[in-house]
């Protein structure tokens, strides 16, 4: 799993423990806020894992929730101390929108990552040259290099040696065949994807053109899974981006969508064969 010193991971630990403790006492968020003489928004932010928590405030919540076991108290106090400070992506905060910053916090703690993009190689599989070619094709962006560095940093954290995160990617045939940056760039990109798949760093399936219509033709999405929490959904499409944990109906829709795409995709072995075919075509071009 990602490093335990990341403030977002400590905030998540506090969020899960404190929400469970409040539920055990059968208190609503408003009732807890009133009993603590706090604002409702303070409780909401703490349980959303979006703010740090002082040890003093934590102790007040533990007294209210009647949590007295020394080992548990010590663990949560340590998490409160670790909830302060900057997340690993703080150096990129000027180019990160709020929904994506929230997503990065969840991604740092995820046990599983499932992703699909209808027209491009998913970001966590993009090579540096591929990303740069995408920026070169768009309007000039003074933050392009910083965005490239951010994506590379995400990949390093997810794929670091001994990381337990399980990554499953569905790559559309359109993305595999689209010549981004020229033949040399695509050869390197497809070679990288094949290397990741054959080394079992990821589970990879290609969605062929023959799969036809499906429920995510106009949007890419990622599903983050946790052993101790509900899935988190991140969607990017024509209407912008969204990080969602609480709309369970929407999350369930995309869980079903990923399973449907998996059923329509080539097997892992057939996907490797397709990559070999495309690489051979690029070598001849």
What pLDDT digit, counting tens, does each position of 225-268 carry? Answer: 998 888 999 998 766 677 887 788 999 999 999 999 999 999 99
- Beta bridge mates, 244: 233
The answer on pLDDT for 131 being more than 60 is: yes
Phi-psi group of 242: left, alpha or beta (phi > 0 → left; psi -120 to 50 → alpha; rest → beta): beta
Residue 197 is encoded by which pair of tokens?
A: 């798949």
pLDDT tens-place string over residues 169-213? 999 999 999 999 999 999 999 999 999 999 888 999 999 999 888
pLDDT of residue 146 exceeding 60:
yes
Mean pLDDT value across residues 36-65: 93
Measured distance CA(96)–CA(107) in Å, rounded: 14
Instruction: Please name the residues in contact with 116: beta carbons below 8 A apart, sequence gap of 6 or more.
Output: 122, 169, 170, 171, 172, 207, 216, 220, 221, 257, 258, 261
Tokens of 20: 């469970």
Q: What is the pLDDT of residue 5?
A: 59
Hey, where are the domains in the chain?
A: 7-82, 91-284
Give yes or no for residue 3 having a pLDDT over 80: no
pLDDT at 1 over 50: no
What per-residue confidence (pLDDT) applies to 188? 97
pTM greater than 0.85 (yes/no): no
Quick one: which of 6, 4, 2, 38 has its CA closest to 22?
A: 38
CB neighbours of 99 closer than 8 A, spacing ≥ 6?
Answer: 234, 241, 242, 243
Can you tell me the distance from the alpha carbon of 217 to that of 260, in angstroms, rounded to the nearest whole number? Answer: 13
Measured distance CA(73)–CA(65) in Å, rounded: 12
Under a CB-based contact definition with an 8 Å cutoff, are residues 159 and 199 in contact? no
Could you tell me if 45 and 11 are in contact, meaning their C-beta atoms sit under 8 angstroms apart? no
Tokens of 92: 């990129």
CATH architecture of the domain formed by 91-284: 2-Layer Sandwich (3.30)
Same fold: 7-82 with 91-284: no
Burial class (CB in 10 A: 0-12, 13-18, 19+), 225: middle
Vertex 256: Cα angle to 251 and 261 (nearest 5): 125
Q: Is the pLDDT of residue 218 over 70?
A: yes
Architecture of the 7-82 domain: Orthogonal Bundle (1.10)
């Amino acid at each position: 799993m990602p490093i335990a010193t990341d403030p977002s991971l400590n905030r998540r630990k506090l969020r899960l423990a404190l929400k469970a403790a409040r539920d055990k006492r059968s208190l609503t968020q408003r009732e807890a806020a009133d009993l603590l003489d706090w604002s409702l928004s303070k409780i909401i932010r703490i349980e959303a894992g979006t703010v740090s928590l002082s040890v003093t405030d934590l102790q007040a919540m533990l007294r209210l929730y009647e949590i007295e076991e020394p080992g548990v108290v010590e663990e949560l106090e340590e998490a409160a101390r670790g909830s302060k400070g900057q997340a690993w992506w703080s150096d990129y905060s000027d180019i990160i929108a709020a929904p994506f910053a929230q997503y990065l916090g969840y991604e740092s703690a995820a046990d599983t990552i499932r992703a699909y993009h209808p027209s491009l190689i998913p970001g966590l599989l993009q090579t540096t040259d591929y990303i740069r070619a995408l920026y070169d094709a768009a309007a000039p962006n003074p933050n392009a290099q910083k965005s490239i560095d951010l994506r590379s940093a995400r990949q390093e954290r997810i794929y670091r040696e001994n990381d337990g995160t399980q990554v499953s990617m569905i790559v559309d045939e359109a993305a595999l065949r689209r010549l981004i940056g020229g033949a040399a760039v695509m050869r390197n990109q497809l070679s990288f994807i094949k290397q990741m798949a054959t080394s079992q760093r990821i589970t990879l399936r290609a969605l062929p053109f023959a799969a036809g219509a499906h429920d995510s033709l106009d949007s890419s999405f990622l599903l983050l899974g946790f052993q101790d929490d509900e899935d988190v959904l991140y969607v990017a499409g024509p209407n912008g981006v969204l990080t969602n944990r609480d709309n369970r109906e929407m999350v369930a829709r995309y869980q079903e969508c990923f399973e449907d795409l998996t059923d329509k995709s080539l097997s892992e072995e057939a996907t490797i064969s397709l990559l070999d075919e495309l690489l051979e075509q690029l070598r001849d071009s």
